Structure 1
Amino acid sequence: MDIKKVILTNGEYLCDIDITVDEWKTILQDENLLNDNYKDALIKFYTEPDHKSTCKALGEKYNVSPQSFNGTITNFAKAVQKKLNRFEIIGTDGKLTYWIIPMNGKHISDGLFEWSIREELVTAIMELDLINKNNEKQLEEYKRFKKLLEYFVAHLEWVNSEDKNCKGFDNYIKPLTDANNFKVTGQGYSGGNIQNQISNWDKYSNGKICINVQPNFGSYKSSKSYLNWEGTGINVIAKWNKENIESLLQEEYQYWLNPPKRKDLKITRSLDSLGLFDNKEEVTKVLIDFFDNFKNILANHNIKQQEIKHMQTLEPYINLLTANYNLVLTGAPGTGKTFLAREIAKALNAEIGFIQFHPSYDYTDLVEGLRPTPPDENGNIGFERKDGVFKEFCKKALKENIANEVDNFEETWEKLIELVKTNLSNDKLLKIGSWEYGLSTKDSLKYSSLNTPSQYSFTITKQNVYDAYQSKKARPSGAFQRDMEDVVDFMKTQLQLKDYQEGAILKEAENKKFVFIIDEINRGEISKIFGELFFLLDPSYRGIEHKVQTQYSNLIESGDVFSDGFFVPENVYIIGTMNDIDRSVESFDFAMRRRFAWKEIKAIDRITMWDGVIDDWKEESLKRMTSINTKIESIQGLGSAFHIGPAYFLKLKNYKGDFEQLWENHLVGVLFEYLRGLPEREKRLKELFDAYNNALESPIDVENN
Structure 2
Amino acid sequence: MINRQKLSAALEEYKKDFDSEWQDEKYKWQAVKCFQDNWDIDAGDFASMLAKSLEKTANLLASMNNFPKKMILQYAGEEAETVRAMFLRLYDESKEVTGRILRFQSDAQELCERLSPGYVHYQRPMAITAYLWLKYPQKYEMYKYSVSKAAAEYLENPYKPVKGHTEENIKENTKMIDEIQRAVIQDTELTAMYEAKLDTECCPDKSYRMIAADVLYYIAGRLSRKEKQAQEKWIGTDYNPGISAEKWEELFENEKIFNQTSWEILYRFLDYGGMATCKQLAVQYGGTANFYNSGATALAKRVSEYLNLDTEQKEKDGTKRYWTILFVGRNAENSEDGVFVWKLRDELKAALRNVDFSDTQLYAERSDMDTNGTNYWWLNANPKIWSFADIDVGEEQNYTMYNENGNKRRIFQNFLAAKEGDVIIGYESYPVKKIVALCRITKCNDGENLYFEKTQELTAPIDYAVLKEAPQLEKMEYFMNPQGSLFKLTKGQYHFIMDIIREENQKNPIAAGEKFTPYTKDDFLSEVYMTSEKYDALKGLLYNKKNIILQGAPGVGKTFAAKRLAYSVMGEKDDSRVELIQFHQNYSYEDFIMGYKPSGQGYELQTGIFYKFCQKAANNPEKPYFFIIDEINRGNMSKIFGELLMLIEKDYRGKKLILAYSGKPFSVPKNIYIIGMMNTADRSLALIDYALRRRFSFFAMEPGFQTEGFQAYMKKLDNDTFTALIEKIQELNREITKDASLGAGFCIGHSYFCGQEECSQVWMQLVVEYDILPMLEEYWFDEPSKIQKWQNVLRGVFNDE
TM-score by length of 1: 0.39
Q: Which has the higher strand share?
A: 1
